[in-house]
Amino acid sequence: MTILHIDSSILGGYSVSRTLSAEIVARLTSERPDAQVAYRDLAASPVPHLSGAYLTALQSTEGQHAPDLRADLALGATLLDEFLAADTVVIGFALYNFGMPTQLKAWFDRILINGRTFRYTAEGQVEGLAGDKRVILAVARGGFYASGSPMAPMEHAETHVRTALGFVGINPEVISAEGIAVGPAQREQALAAATTQIAALAA
């Protein structure tokens, strides 16, 4: 089994999503010690945001590009290959100002590629091409944004990630910790609840 472990929090050792994603990977490897884990820290090594030159180069057969663009194209190919090669993907992220971290959005922009992870049918419908993967999300939120909460309509991180994954044929599993900025007691309670969910994950 190959696991791709992705973190995107900018908080380092203070990050709840990093704690949860690490626990998820530990849970998965506890029963599969032969699993190979590839790790990518999108905060420590950010993926460049999309540019018009990058998108144009993806659609061009011409091989002459500026060095910076060649490096960007090579990174995009590596990110896509990592994703396609993984049996399981674990993604840690937090809700930042109602959305996912921009570092994670930049990663998704290199993963959602027509003809590789999705395609359009002759009728114009979308067909996901990556539905054979297991994806587990480790989500941290400072307030209470879960479904049914008055603030749920403001949650555009998990919902965006679910949409992006659904586009390529994946229905993710989600482990979340809510209200971690409310106070120390709530933070500990949220972490404990998430840890219980992780322990129950099928490895």
Binding residues for FMN: 9, 15-17
Q: 105 Cβ partners below 8 Å, 6+ apart?
A: 99, 160
Q: Which 3 state secondary structure label does DSSP give 107? A: helix
Q: Which amino acid is at 160?
A: H
Within 10 Å of residue 114's Cβ, how many Cβ atoms? 12
Cα 191 from Cα 61, distance rounded (Å)? 49
Query: Annotated binding residues, as ranges?
Result: 9, 15-17
**Token output for 48:** 């460049």
Which residue has tokens 């091409």?
129
Please report the DSSP string for 60-95 in residue order: -------HHHHHHHHHHHHHHHHHHH-SEEEEEEE-
Q: Answer whether 198's CB lies under 8 Å from 27's CB.
A: yes
Cα 143 from Cα 62, distance rounded (Å)? 49
Q: 91 Cβ partners below 8 Å, 6+ apart?
A: 6, 8, 21, 104, 135, 136, 137, 138, 161
